[in-house]
Amino acid sequence: MLRGFYTAASGMIAQQRRTEMLTNNLANANTPGFKADQSSVRAFPQLLLDRIGAASIPTEKGLHLPIHSRVGELGTGVYVQEAAPKFMQGDIQQTDRNTDVALVDGNMPVSNENGLKGTVFFTVTNADGELRYTRNGNFTLDGQGFLTTPQGFYVLDEDNNRIQLNSENITIGETGVVMENGQQVARLGIGFAENPYALIKEGNGLFRNEADALGNAYNQEGVAFSTQQGFIESSNVDQSRTMTDMMAAYRSFEANQKVLQAYDRSMEKAVNEIGRIG
């Protein structure tokens, strides 16, 4: 009986976490470069149940032989194992702003670890010099003329230096070269992640790599991409699918809740009625 409480409760917790993840995806449906999370729900190890008993053989002294019969497997609940971003590219939207840049994936090598394609990121840094990576190319100039992200992170060039400009009157080519007044001033720093699922998601569209910095995407064999000025990559959240998944998660939560209530009523009867002395 008590095991049933735990099984139903684990299902409710798993669906609650899925709902929170889906809600966050939906809230960022209009965030440029946002990568939707997808969850993996796993079952706890199953138990194999046997019924143990005894058989009596009518002999002079009485003989009792232990016997057991197979009952079957018992599930012990589920849990959300992980929530990993989906790195599929979002739609490219035109903004006509000179400081907006979209990364357009071309040919991407397949990772040897998981068989999935790698991807490229803009390289940015915070005020402390810590490297981060993002697909959000909605850039702007700060008061000192540095190219920055909406969160105030500095956009870096391919040598990991900050990019400082005199005005927004710039041209960014398909190869990431930044031109101002007819002169090349920088080349956008683009990092390539062979296995992007090894990156750690920090929020605000930022990722960090626990190991070394990502390699320069321009020098990676087999990596093809382009940069488009005046465009941004939109979120890859499928709003209709997300709403459908939210409804399914809510109904599953509700079903486990009813099971839990049924167990609670059974326990109430066991305590208040079965043990009552007439």
Its pTM stands at 0.78
pLDDT digits (tens, 9 = 90+) for 188-214: 999 999 888 889 888 888 999 887 788
CA distance 116 to 124: 25
pLDDT digits (tens, 9 = 90+) for 13-49: 888 889 999 999 999 999 999 999 988 777 766 666 6
How far apart, in Å, are the Cα atoms of 96 and each of 34, 213, 272?
20, 31, 72
Domain layout of the chain by residue ranges: 2-82+238-274, 88-233
Nearest to 90 by CA among 240, 237, 236: 236
